[in-house]
């Protein structure tokens, strides 16, 4: 959510930003919020004037009573009563207009960084850099679910009976490999100086609306019936929510945390669910990184964070590339974002395994997270990035390490988490 003062003083820039995001239907909101803000400020001024008049009149009443001028004092008291009634009406109208202002403000997108490429959707995202050479095996690599099933490691049929489409059972060495990569991701980030955290897996609606846009919320979140609780779609939601309403001393910044959680998503939209595979499912596990920092340090952290994910996948000999998200592919709260994509030797193309975003002060402003500075209290910046989301990351791991004899070679960094195993072989 933008600062209304910024919108008031930069109306044309805000409108241009909306156009860059191809959301022209939101352009009228800019004038509407400026008009509402003007009405609210006039009401505040009127209220301040009335309070000043009330204070002056109250002083006069005291003096009149001391002078034994009771009738005049009582007449003045009627004026005070009238002022109080006016203030009640003003405060009610002010609250109503403020609520309208907030509802419109949270729909206006965050100002994107000047470096963000302009494009309508994810088809216009821009490749930044490749890390490691993509390769094609001289033998066939089966579909990832077929590989998992060859080890009796995947059971979607039973999950369909218990839970429906979009769920799965991971079994045996495949399940162990899945947990191994999550555990390795945890330790990888701890070694980078991040504090490990396991957050709540459900959050209240005021946290949900604080960390994401309404469109994302509608397409992603599962609501608990008859409760003000939602299942998290990523641990970033509850990790940022942890600091809701807090005042943090700038000396304690940055705060860098890495969190584990299961994640739950409706996956509503054009992509849909996969009938066979594990790429787009309702439930998965994730190791996340979250940073709270001074706004002026946000871009430096952004570049550190996506590089950590690249380093993580390269440590398992998986080739990756980074893709700059264009303006139309950015969620409304994001200032800048890039995807990390892993190479699929089976498909001979890259696919998304993570996303890094800087959100400026958008989440902090919505959730009331401030930093205490010598110049006063200010909103801080928040960032988040995927270390790994599995089973999506598991797919990349399996495909890149599938051997001609049908076994899966375990990367060296994962072997301590697999009891020293070098390979997963069919029994």
pLDDT tens-place string over residues 226-275: 999 999 999 999 999 999 999 999 999 999 999 999 999 987 554 555 56
Best CA proximity match to 336, nearest among 378, 364, 369, 300: 300
Q: Is the per-residue pLDDT at 400 higher than 50? A: yes
What's the average model confidence in pLDDT over 406-411?
97
pLDDT digits (tens, 9 = 90+) for 199-211: 999 999 999 999 9
Question: At 45, is the pLDDT very low, low, confident or very high (cuts 50, 70, 90)?
Answer: very high
pLDDT at position 427 = 75
What's the average model confidence in pLDDT over 350-371?
96
Average pLDDT value over all residues in the chain? 94
The two three-digit tokens of residue 309, written as one number: 């994910």
The two three-digit tokens of residue 237, written as one number: 């939601």
pLDDT digits (tens, 9 = 90+) for 282-311: 999 999 999 999 999 999 999 999 999 999
pLDDT at position 271 = 55
Best CA proximity match to 17, nearest among 265, 333, 256, 235: 333
pTM greater than 0.75 (yes/no):
yes
What's the average model confidence in pLDDT over 22-32?
97
Percentage of the chain exceeding pLDDT 70: 98
Q: Is the per-residue pLDDT at 222 higher than 80? A: yes
Question: At 1, is the pLDDT very low, low, confident or very high (cuts 50, 70, 90)?
Answer: confident
Q: Is the per-residue pLDDT at 12 higher than 90? A: yes
Q: Is the per-residue pLDDT at 214 higher than 80? A: no
pLDDT at position 277 = 87
pLDDT at position 68 = 86
What's the average model confidence in pLDDT over 23-33?
97
What's the average model confidence in pLDDT over 114-138?
95
pLDDT digits (tens, 9 = 90+) for 136-148: 999 999 999 999 9
Structural domains present in the chain: 4-105 (1.10.287.40), 122-424 (3.30.930.10)
8 A C-beta contact, residue 319 and residue 342: yes
pLDDT at position 270 = 47
Q: Are strands 423-424 and 320-324 parallel, antiparallel or unpaired?
A: unpaired
What's the average model confidence in pLDDT over 97-112?
95
pLDDT at position 212 = 87
């Amino acid at each position: 959510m933008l600062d209304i003062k910024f919108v008031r003083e930069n109306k044309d820039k805000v409108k241009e930003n909306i156009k860059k995001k191809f959301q022209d239907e939101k352009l009228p909101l800019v004038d509407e919020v400026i008009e509402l803000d003007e009405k609210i400020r006039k009401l505040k001024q009127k209220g301040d004037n009335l309070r000043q008049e009330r204070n002056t009149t109250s002083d006069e009443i005291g003096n009149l009573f001391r002078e034994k001028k009771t009738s005049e004092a009582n007449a003045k008291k009627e004026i005070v009563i009238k002022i109080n009634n006016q203030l009640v009406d003003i405060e009610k109208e002010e609250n109503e207009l403020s609520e309208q202002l907030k509802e419109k403000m949270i729909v206006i997108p965050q100002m994107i960084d000047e470096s963000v490429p302009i494009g309508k959707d994810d088809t216009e995202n821009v490749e930044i850099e490749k890390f490691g050479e993509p390769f094609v095996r001289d033998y066939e690599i089966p579909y990832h679910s077929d590989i998992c099933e060859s080890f009796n490691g995947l059971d979607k049929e039973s999950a369909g009976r218990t839970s429906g489409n979009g769920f799965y059972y991971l079994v045996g060495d495949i399940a162990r490999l899945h947990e191994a990569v999550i555990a390795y991701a945890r330790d990888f980030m701890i070694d980078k100086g991040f504090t490990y955290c396991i957050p709540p897996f459900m959050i209240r609606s005021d946290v949900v609306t604080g960390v994401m846009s309404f469109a994302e919320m509608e397409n992603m979140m599962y609501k608990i019936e008859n409760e003000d609780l939602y299942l998290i779609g990523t641990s970033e939601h509850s990790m940022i929510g942890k600091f809701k309403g807090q005042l943090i001393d700038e000396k304690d910044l940055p705060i860098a945390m890495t969190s584990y959680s299961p994640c739950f998503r409706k996956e509503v939209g054009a992509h849909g669910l996969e009938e066979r595979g594990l790429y787009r499912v309702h439930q998965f596990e994730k190791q996340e990184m979250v940073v709270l920092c001074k706004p002026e340090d946000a871009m430096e952290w952004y570049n550190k964070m996506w590089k950590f994910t690249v380093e993580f996948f390269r440590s398992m000999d998986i080739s990756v590339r980074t893709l700059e998200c264009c303006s139309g592919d950015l969620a409304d709260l994001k200032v800048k974002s890039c995807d990390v994509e892993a190479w699929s030797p089976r498909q001979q193309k890259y696919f998304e395994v993570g996303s890094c975003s800087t959100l400026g002060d958008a989440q902090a402003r919505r959730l009331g997270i401030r930093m205490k500075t010598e110049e006063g209290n200010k909103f801080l910046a928040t960032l988040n990035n995927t270390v790994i989301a599995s089973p999506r990351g598991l797919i990349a791991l399996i495909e890149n390490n599938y051997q001609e004899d049908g076994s899966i070679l375990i990367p060296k960094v994962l072997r301590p988490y697999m009891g020293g195993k070098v390979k997963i072989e069919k029994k």
